[in-house]
Amino acid sequence: MSLKIVVVIAAFVGAIAAQHYYQQLHHEEEHHGPVHYEFNYDIHDDHTGDVHGRKEARKDDHTQGEYYLIDADGHKRIVTYQVDGKSGFIAQVHREPIKGYQAPQQVHKIVTPIHKVLTVPVHHAHHY
């Protein structure tokens, strides 16, 4: 009988803890205001050939954005995406060739070892 009481008490305590967790989570959600942000950036580094950028905007459960980069074969890859609530991430990829694109050339450093010749003066002893 005492085992039944312990099981009932444990189940009751577990239910109270779950209810408390749910209420706290729901309470925290109510205190957060609406989500809204926008950002963008563009990188164009002639030295390394790194060209890419991104922009994104979010308002509450809706996010939309786009990013681009230059692939090694000279095509610009553009990815547009959106997220609506719990529908998941939906993306479309578009590639377009870049006229006159030349991939940056690798810079190879040639290191030539320098050998220093050590000369030691030799004193010849003169025997008379």
Token duo for residue 39: 């950002």
Q: Are residues 16 and 66 in the same domain?
A: no
Q: Distance (Å, rounded) from C-alpha 110 to C-alpha 38?
A: 46
Domain that holds residue 25: 1-32
User: Structure pTM?
Assistant: 0.53
Q: Are residues 8 and 64 in the same domain?
A: no
Q: Are residues 21 and 1 in the same domain?
A: yes
- Who wins on pLDDT, 25 or 82? 82
Over residues 59-100, the pLDDT tens digits come to 998 999 999 999 988 899 999 999 988 888 999 999 999 887
Instruction: Write the CA distances from 6 to 2, 14, 18, 19, 84, integer angstroms.
Output: 6, 12, 18, 20, 46
Count the domains in the chain: 2
